[in-house]
Amino acid sequence: MLISAAFYILSAIAIISALMVVAAKNPVHSVLFLVLTFFTTAGLFVLIGAEYLAMLLVVVYVGAVMVLFLFVVMMLDIDFVELKQGFTRYLPLGAGVAITLFAMFILVSNTRIAVNIGAGDLASPTPSTDIANNAEAIGKILYTDYILFFQLAGLVLFVAMIGAIVLTLRHRDNVKRQNVTKQVGRPRAEGVELMDPKSGEGVAL
């Protein structure tokens, strides 16, 4: 009874917060509602025993991605009035995408009902049941059967990170920068200058 009540409460909060992500006029409020959606979805994952996915939502999406989104929205000077002017122009396209997604959801639901998949089949674990939890099961499969794909995905993300740094790097001519290679490799004649000033006179630079 308690699990059912928690499921309905979390589901209602998740649906309402997801709608508010789209309906909120303030983009900061939209990001905060999206964070709430991720938290409630993580709670739903915990209820079905998928604690790894719940931890993934909280740590990766809420802890990193959403905070980054919030900082970008708050720090960038974006003219939201200008962005909203194209709403009516792109409304037919957005409505078409929404209708297509809704039709896909209905199609998938009808397919599941047609093949008569039971709840026990959906909840049955892929690995053996003697493993302690699903985080351990996912780790065993990920780092044994799919280790090559996991490493390639990490390499792609690494290249994307370098590309983002290169694209955002701005070289300014009036900014002094340190050239460590030139400093270390300079000869003694360029680094040391012997002076013989007279008594009572300074050194002209």
pLDDT tens for the chain, 205 residues long, are 788 888 889 899 999 999 988 888 777 788 888 888 988 998 888 888 788 888 888 888 887 777 777 777 766 666 666 666 666 777 888 888 889 988 887 877 666 555 555 555 555 545 555 656 677 777 888 888 888 998 998 899 899 888 878 877 776 777 777 888 888 888 887 778 787 777 777 766 6
Report the chain's C-alpha Rg in angstroms: 29
Whether 69 and 92 have beta carbons less than 8 Å apart is answered as no
pLDDT reported for residue 119: 54
Other Cβ atoms less than 10 A from the Cβ of 35: the count is 21
Inter-CA distances, 88 with 18, 83, 93, 102, Å: 22, 11, 10, 21
When the pLDDT of each residue in the chain is averaged and rounded to a whole number, the result is 78
Annotate 180-191 with DSSP letters as a single string.
Answer: HHHHHT--HHHH
